Structure 1
Amino acid sequence: MTDSPAGTHAGEPHGPGIAQKLNWLRAGVLGANDGIVSTAAVVVGVASATASVGPVLVAGAAALVGGAISMALGEYVSVASQRDSERALIAKEKAELREDPEAELEELAGLYAARGISPETARRVAEELTEHDALRAHLSAELNIDPDDVVSPWHAALASAVAFTLGALLPMLTIMFLPLEARVAGTFVAVLGALALTGYVAAWIGDASRGRAVMRTVLGGALALAATFVVGSLFGTTVA
C-alpha cells in the first residue's frame, strides 16, 4: 500500500504520472466504444441485407482494420500536438527564468497574491518555491503543467488501437457464431451490453454520473445500429 502525500485524501489523483495514466485510460475507453459501435453498425447493416456470412465478415474486417488505424493515427496526432505545445511552453519558461529571474519571481509572487494570499506571504512562498525548483513552480502556477508528466502520443495511439480492435471483435464474433435467425438481434443485445460497460468505465474514470454515461452510450449505440439496420434492409433482404 502506497502512502498518500501529507494533507491529501485517499483516492485523489496526486501521484506522479497521473496525466499519462488518465490519457491512455481515456484513449482506451473511447477506442473500445468506437470499435464496438462502428464495427457493429457495419456488420448489422450488411447482415440485414444478406444472409451470407462472407460479406459480413469482409465488411467487418475492413471496418476493424481501417478503424483501428484511423483511431491510432487520430490519437497520435492529437496528443503529439498537445505534447509539442507543452514542450514549447516549458522551453519558453526556461528561457524567461534564465534571462530575467527577478521579473519571474515578481510574476510568481503576483500570481499567488491574485489567489488571495497576502503580498508578504505570496512573496515568501514565491521565494521558497523558486529556491526549491523555479521552473516547476512557474509551470504549475502559470500553466498548470508538470514537466515530469507530459503525455505520450505513443501510449494514447497504442491504447486506442488495441481497445478499438478488442471492441470491434465483439460484434464480429457475435454475428459469426449466432444462428441465422438470431444473428442481428443477438448482436444488438451483446453490443448494447458492452456499450453500457464502456459508459460505466468512462464515468468511473472521470468520476461522473454512471447512470447518465451508460444511458448516453447505450442510446447512441442503439440509434447507430437501428439506422444501419434500416439502410441494409432497404438494399437487401432482411434476415432477422
Structure 2
Amino acid sequence: MNWLRAGVLGANDGIVSTAGLVVGVAGAATSRGPLVAAGVAGLVSGAVSMALGEYVSVSSQRDTERSLLDRERQELAEMPQAELEELAGFYRAKGISDETAHRVAKELTARDPLGAHAEVELGIDPDELANPWHAAGASGLSFTLGAILPLLAIVLPPATWRVPVTVVVVLVALAITGWISARLGGAPAVPAMVRLVVGGGAAMGITFAVGDLIGDTGLV
C-alpha cells in the first residue's frame, strides 16, 4: 500500500503541477519553445522532489518502526511474563474469554514472540517494514507519467487549441486518478473525483490568469 499510495499521489501532483505550470506559461507566451522548456523543467524537478520527499518520509517511518521493534524485543527479553499478560489483555479487550486469551497468547508467543506482540500492540509486521526505495520509485515514476500528459497536450495542438485541449486532458486524467485513489482506499469514487477535478481546474484557471496578466505587462 505504501508504493500504491505514493504512486497515486505522485501521478496527481505530476498532472496538476505541470498543467498549472504550462498553462500559466501559455497565458503569457504563445511560442512553443518556452512551453517545452517550462514543462520539461517542471517534470524533472517535480519528479526528483517527489521521489526525494517520499524517500525521506518513508525512511523516517521505517526508522520509527525499527525503534519500536527494538524496544519490544528488549521488553520480551527482560519481562517475558509481563509481556505475555499484556498480550493476553489485548485479546481480552476484543471480547475473548480470559482462558482463551491466555491460551492464544501463549501459543502465538511460543511460535513467534516478536511477530505476535508487534502485530497486536504496534500494528507492525516485522517482515514487512516500509520500503523507502519502493515509495520513492513509485512516486517519481508516477509523477513523470502524470506530467507527460499536460506537457504533450500543451505542445502538440495548434496555438489556439493548446489551452482548451490541455484543460480537457487534465480534467479527464484527474477524474481517473480520483477514481483509482478511491478504489484503493475503499472510499466513494464520486467525491474523490470531484475534489481532484475542481482543484485541478482551479489551479489551471489561476495560473492562466496570472500568466495572462504577466503577458499583458510586456515582461514576456
TM-score by length of 1: 0.88
Q: CA deviation at 1:114?
A: 2.1
Write the distance in 2 (CA, Å) between the matches of 1:138 and 1:224: 47
Aligned twin of 1:208: 187
Aligned twin of 2:102: 123
Q: Secondary structure at the match of 1:48?
A: helix
What does 1:6-25 align with in structure 2 at a 5 Å threshold?
22-25=1-4
From 58, 66, 79, the counterpart of 1:79: 58
Write the distance in 2 (CA, Å) between the matches of 1:93 and 1:83: 15
What does 1:149-164 align with in structure 2 at a 5 Å threshold?
149-164=128-143
Equivalent AA in structure 2 for residue 168 of structure 1 = A
Unpaired runs of 5+ residues, structure 1, are 1-21
Q: 1:137-192 CA deviation, whole Å, 9 max, x = no partner? A: 10111111111111100000011001101111111111111011101111000010
Q: CA deviation at 1:94?
A: 1.0
Write the distance in 1 (CA, Å) between the matches of 2:20 and 2:102: 60
Aligned twin of 1:172: 151
Alignment size in residue pairs: 216
Q: CA deviation at 1:96?
A: 1.0
From 212, 224, 232, the counterpart of 2:203: 224
From 64, 82, 90, the counterpart of 1:103: 82
Write the distance in 2 (CA, Å) between the matches of 1:144 and 1:134: 14
Write the distance in 2 (CA, Å) between the matches of 1:210 and 1:202: 8
Q: CA deviation at 1:45?
A: 0.4
Q: Structure 1 residue runs of 4+, over 2 Å off?
A: none
Q: Secondary structure at the match of 2:130?
A: coil
Identity %: 61
From 40, 45, 49, the counterpart of 2:28: 49
1:90 aligns with 2:102: no
Give the aligned CA root-mean-square deviation in angstroms.
1.0
Aligned twin of 2:174: 195
Write the distance in 1 (CA, Å) between the matches of 2:186 and 2:89: 33
Aligned twin of 2:114: 135
Q: CA deviation at 1:101?
A: 1.0
Q: 1:10-63 CA deviation, whole Å, 9 max, x = no partner? A: xxxxxxxxxxxx111111111011001000100000011111111111111111
Aligned twin of 1:146: 125
Q: CA deviation at 1:129?
A: 1.1
Write the distance in 1 (CA, Å) between the matches of 2:132 and 2:166: 33
Equivalent AA in structure 1 for residue 91 of structure 2 = Y
Write the distance in 2 (CA, Å) between the matches of 1:161 and 1:106: 45
Write the distance in 2 (CA, Å) between the matches of 1:108 and 1:160: 37
TM-score by length of 2: 0.96
